[in-house]
Structure 1
Amino acid sequence: MIHGRLQLTARARLALLSTVLVLGSGITLTALTYVLMRRNHQVVQVFHTTGGGGPLPPIEDISRQVRSAALSDLLAQAAVALVVVTVLAAVLGWLVSGRLLRPIREISATAQRSSAENLSERVPVATPKDEVTALAGTVNTMLDRIQRGVAERDRVLYSQRLFTANAAHELRTPLTTMRTAVDVTLDGEPTRAELVAMAGDIRTAIGRSQRTLDGLLALAQSQAGPGDQRLLDLAAIVAGVLAETAVGPLTVRTALEPAPVRADPVLVERMIANLVDNAVRHNRPDGDVTVSTGTHTGRSFLRIANTGRPIPPDEAGGLLEPFVCGTGTRMSGDGGAGLGLSIVRAVVTVHHGDLVISPQPTGGLEITIQFPLASQLTAGERSKKDSSTTTV
């Protein structure tokens, strides 16, 4: 193997290639002209008068001498012309290849200037439409995807940092409560009543920590993606969740039309249970809950609305963030972990759905979720689903 071979640039290779092509074409043309002239045997007739001159050489010798001289002149002149044309081809090839490769150098320079901190620059796309223009468009499309990916990465990292800080705070609060209860109770000779009160405080704090950990686990499972996806009916799942939920004095109104989706049944059931629990928990004592399902514009939807306190429009979107509960701040003392709607959003996202949360003019929220419409059930799947679904 030969090491240290000369590495030519693309511009040098293009110029060398054009020079070699011109040189080869010139040599071929000269050789072809030379061969054709050698095969030219035209008869040369020489006329002379008798006089005092000596005898003339034979006609064949004169013809041969003329042809030999012509071929020699042809080779000499062709060699000079070939050298000139080859040098000119080399110069023009170098200049033309540089002009042709200029857009590629601009693309390379733009790619080198791009970084994770600066992805806004794009390659200029000129006309006419050709291979280089297509390459520039492809590079710009790639930079767009990279920019979106970096923005999404930054958003996820920020959300994870915020989530971790909130989770640490929420888990530290019950620990602080337990430590304070123990220190205050054991500072002296505690009575039985004081010990019982301390145990109650510790039990309450442990329950709060357990709810927070359960919510964190459910959120992590929802964000991990769907597992075994099956053909489901949102109406049937909503009916089952409502049958198992204690709504107290609230009035529940339903309009459940078939809404087929292909999704993970565990995640979808958890999503609907969180929505119903949120609608019941954040409601007036004499309020109502309205749930509807069905299909619209080629998508299956689930809509749930409740009554409650008026919520400012700029506060509604924040309710989807972790550890935000009711007032747009950290968890309130209503027994919730502040993760219900965060889990709902995660389930909708992994199933490629859409979620819209809107405050109602009279108070409360209306949450609408849309999923891609599942394909129609076959007869066997429909009978199997009907036999395993309980209608409420």
Structure 2
Amino acid sequence: MTLRWTSRRVPRSTLRTQLTLLYAGPFLVSGVLLLAVPILQTRRSVPVGAPPGLGTDFPPGPDTSRVLAVCAVALAVLVVVSIILGWLVAGRFLRPLRTMTATARDISATNLHRRLGPHRRAGEFTELASTLDDLFARLEAAFASQRHFVANASHELRTPLAATRAVLQVALADPGATVDSLRAACRDVLALGGTQESLLEALLTLAGGEQGVEHREPFDLAVIARDVLRTRRTDGVAGTGSVEVTGAFGAAPATGDPRLVESLVANLVDNALRHNIPGGRVEIATATTSRGARVTVGNTGPVVPPDQVERLFEPFQQLGGQRVRRAAGHGLGLAIVRAVAGAHGATLTARARPDGGLDIEILFPGAFPEAGIR
């Protein structure tokens, strides 16, 4: 025989009930203490005309008992009144909190763009509203980043997927296909797969940059920029051909996500190399200023109208208001730069050179002392 014990969960008291008891409690304790004083005095008093040497403890007389009864009734009435007043005061005090809760629930369910705004009661309610507004802003940014990622991925992956399908269909439909033609088709498919992989990596980096930095650690921009340039030279991207690359790497300590910052610097360098001219130049420099750690990348290239500079930091954009050509890259480099800079609270400044090209500066705030960089 198995015995099963079932227990009901005791409902937790609400905050209003707790505040009501907190208000009524001092009234009850004070009343009991006030009632105890006359009781003790009555029991220790000596009646008038009592012979000397009698004890001091006498039973209370009729008048004293009547007074005590009245005091007890008054105490009970005061406790009831204090509970009622405490309930009303607690409700009045918690009304703004209930309003904020209902508004926050409606915002989270319908429109994250709304905000609670400053409360008319300064103090804790205003701080709570500000904290919730900051939370809604981060949630809105995260959802916007997710929507942008899905939209960009669905649009940009459609072309390589269609091309992959076309290559495979042509290879399968060819009755005279040979080993060499099938190998060529496989090489084309692998190349298209590599394009899709690099595009997905760029989209993931863009989405990660837009979501912000959760864990910060110290790093040195000089070390990151030097490693990026060394990798580009090893791969044959920089330092060969007709584009001259120079670097001046001064210590520039900062804090953040080194992986995202490395992607920022790499995209700056790749953009400067890709959009250049024969015989052009690329200059990379890092330094520490009074405002923080700075990295600058300048390059020669086609003339960029000043009113077109801001638009170049949008995804999949190029000069002339058209979407970027596949041969010119994915068109996400500068968008990644802006997202990573914004996630780190860095200031991005881009200027068009009169003779062609761009000068881009990223200033990271809150530099750490050089001894903190390893």
Structure 1 Cα separation of the partners of residues 227 and 39 of structure 2: 89
Given that residues 181 and 202 in structure 1 are in contact (C-alpha distance below 8 angstroms), is that contact kept between their aligned partners in structure 2?
Answer: no
Q: By how many angstroms is 1:332 displaced?
A: 0.7
Q: How big is each residue's C-alpha offset from its partner over 1:131-169, in whole Å with a ceiling of 9 and x where there is no partner?
A: xx43x2443233223212321222222222223223322
- Distance in 2, Cα, partners of 1:112 & 1:269: 43
Instruction: Give the counterpart letter for 1:124 in structure 2.
Output: H
Q: Does 1:106 align with 2:106?
A: no
For 1:295, what is the secondary structure of its paired residue? strand
Matching residue of 1:216: 200
1:30 partner amino acid: P
1:288 pairs with one of 272, 277, 281: 281
Contact 1:287 1:306 in 2 (8 A): yes
User: Counterparts of 2:216 and 2:167 in 1: how far apart (Å)?
Assistant: 38
Partner residue in 1 for 2:297: 304
Count of paired positions: 345
Find the aligned partners of 1:351 and 1:263 in 2 and give their Cα distance: 6
Hey, what does 2:3 align to over in structure 1? none
Deviation at 1:111, TM superposition (A): 0.8
Distance in 1, Cα, partners of 2:339 & 2:10: 57
Letter matched to residue 352 of structure 2: P
1:77 aligns with 2:67: yes
Which residue number in structure 2 is paired with residue 144 of structure 1?
A: 133
CA distance in 2, matches of 1:175, 1:152: 34
Deviates more, 1:317-326 or 1:99-108: 317-326
Q: How far apart are 1:107 and its partner, in Å?
A: 0.7
**1:322-361 alignment, distance < 5 Å:** 322-327=315-320, 329-345=322-338, 348=341, 353-361=346-354
Amino acid across the alignment from 1:278: N
Q: Match for 1:376 among 359, 370, 373?
A: 370
Is structure 2 residue 28 aligned with structure 1 residue 20?
yes
Quote the Cα distance in structure 1 between the aligned partners of 2:188 and 2:40. 104
Deviation at 1:16, TM superposition (A): 4.9
3-state DSSP class of the match of 1:284?
coil
Q: Distance in 1 between matches of 2:254 and 2:86?
A: 60
TM-score (norm 1): 0.67
Task: Please give the alpha-carbon distance, in whole angstroms, between the structure 2 residues aligned to 1:326 and 1:204.
Answer: 29
Partner of residue 207, structure 1:
191
Q: Secondary structure at the match of 2:294?
A: strand
Q: Deviations over 1:304-361 (max 9, x none)?
A: 1223334355643443444445555433143523333345456656766544334334
Greater radius of gyration (CA): 1
Contact 1:288 1:307 in 2 (8 A): yes
Structure 2: which 5+ residue stretches go unaligned? Answer: 1-5
Could you say which residue in structure 1 is the equivalent of 2:38?
Answer: 30
Pairwise CA RMSD: 4.6
Q: Distance in 2 between matches of 1:112 and 1:160?
A: 31
| Further displaced range: 146-155 or 353-362 | 353-362
The offset of 1:100, in angstroms, is 4.5
1:160 aligns with 2:154: no
CA contact (8 A) 2:28 2:75 kept: no
- From the superposition, tell whether residues 261 and 211 of structure 1 become closer, same or farther in structure 2 (CA, over 3 Å): farther
Deviations 1:12-40 (A, max 9, x none): 5356535533541343133123124x325
Superposition map of 1:77-96 within 5 A: 77-84=67-74, 86-96=76-86
- Structure 2 CA distance, aligned partners of 1:32 and 1:201? 106
Indicate the residue corresponding to 1:49 in structure 2: none
Q: Is the 8 A contact 2:218 2:368 kept in 1?
A: no
List alignment gaps of at least 5 residues for structure 1.
Answer: 44-59, 128-132, 382-392
* Rounded Cα–Cα distance in structure 1 between residues aligned with 2:341 and 2:115: 31
SS at match of 1:126: coil
Determine whether 1:39 maps to 2:28.
no
* Alignment of structure 1 residues 224-239 onto 2, 5 Å: 233-234=223-224, 236-237=226-227
* 3-state secondary structure, aligned to 2:370: coil
Q: Normalised by the size of structure 2, how large is the TM-score? A: 0.69
Supply the distance in 2 between the matched residues of 1:227 and 1:213 (Cα, whole angstroms): 28
